[in-house]
Amino acid sequence: MDGPSGSGKSSTARGVADRLGLRYLDTGAQFRAMTVWMLRHGVDVHDVEAVAAHAAEPRIVSGTDPLEPTITLDGEDVAEEIRSADTTAAVSPVATVPAVRARLLELQRATIAAALAEGGIVVEGRDIGSVVWPDAEVKLYLTADPGARAARRAAENGSTSVRSTEEDLLRRDAIDSGRTTAPLVVPDGATHLDTTPWTLEEVVDRVVAIVESTRGAGAGTAGARTAGADAGGHRASP
C-alpha cells in the first residue's frame, strides 16, 4: 500500500491486516527511526555523505501486530519520538539517501519474507509496490485531496492550522516524489483508491473486498500480473 502522507495508509493497512489476520509493517516508521538516530547523534540530515556513512549503525526493530505495532531504536521504544515535529521535518531528506534506503530495504524484505511464511502481511510506505515487493499479491495506491489529508493530519496532531499542515504535506510530497531513488509513484498493476469521500471503515471494506476477490481469482497468477514492475510505475501526482 503506497501513497502520500495523510491518504490513510497506516489506518487502512492496520484495519485490513486485523480483519484478514495478517501482519502489518509501517515502513515510514523505520525511516523516522533512522532520522531520530541521525538527529540524536548530531548528523546533519542534509549532508548526504554524512547520513550515508552512519546508515548501517542504527538497530531498528518493527513489531508487526496490527493492533499494537511497535518500533524500537537500539532497543529503546521510540514510538512517540518518531512522530515529533523535529523528526517529521527531517525525515524526507534522510529518506532520499540511497544508503538509507538500501539498509531499510533489506530489513523490510526480511520482515515480509518471514511474514509470508506465516500467512501474509500488509506493508505501507512510498515504494512498496514499485521497489520493495513488486510481486505483491495486491497493490494499492491511496490518495486523498490535499485539503482532506491536511485536515486529517491536523486533527490527529491537535493542530488548529490546517493550512500550515497542508503546506508541510505538499513540501514532503514534492521531496518524496522528486527524489531519484525509489520516488513515490503509482506502481505498475496498482489499484488507485481516492479516499477523500469515504470513511475509514468504507476504505477498509473496499480493500478487504479487493484482497478477497484477488484471492478468489486464483493464487499463483499474482507474480505474472506484476512481473517486470521492479523499477516500474509512473510518477504520482498525489
Ligand X SMILES: Nc1ccn([C@H]2C[C@H](O)[C@@H](COP(=O)(O)OP(=O)(O)O)O2)c(=O)n1
Q: Give the footprint of ligand ADP on this chain (CB under 6 A).
A: 3, 5-11, 152-153, 156, 195, 198-200, 203
Are 80 and 32 in contact by the 8 Å Cβ rule? The answer is: no
Q: Which of 223, 25, 28 is nearest to 136 (CA)?
A: 223
Give the start-end residues of each E strand in the chain.
Answer: 23-26, 60-63, 70-73, 76-77, 121-124, 140-143, 185-186, 191-194, 234-235
Does 5 engage in binding with ligand X (CB under 6 A)?
A: yes
Could you say which of 18, 20, 28, 215 contacts ligand X (CB under 6 A)? 28
Torsion angle in degrees (nearest 10) through CA of 227, 21, 28, 189: 20
C-beta closer to ligand X: residue 150 or 222: 150
* 238 vs 233: CA distance, rounded Å: 14
Binding at 238: pick from ligand X, ligand ADP, none (beta carbon under 5-8 Å per type): none
Sheet hosting strand 76-77, strand order edge to edge:
60-63, 70-73, 76-77
CA distance 129 to 85: 28
Compare residues 109 and 212 and give the one whose CB is closer to ligand X: 109
CB of 86 to ligand ADP, least distance (A): 18
Establish if 32 lies at the interface with ligand X (CB under 6 A).
Answer: yes
Termini Cα distance of the chain: 14
Q: How far is the CB of 35 from ligand ADP (least distance, A)?
A: 16
Minimum distance from residue 87 beta carbon to ligand X (Å): 9
- Residue with smaller CB distance to ligand X, 176 or 188: 176
- Residues within window 149-208 making contact with ligand X, judged by CB under 6 A: 172, 176
Residue 51 near which of ligand ADP, ligand X, none (CB within 5-8 Å, type-dependent): none
Contact set with ligand X (CB under 6 A): 5, 27-29, 31-32, 91-92, 95, 125-127, 172, 176
**Binding site as annotated, residues for ATP:** 3-11
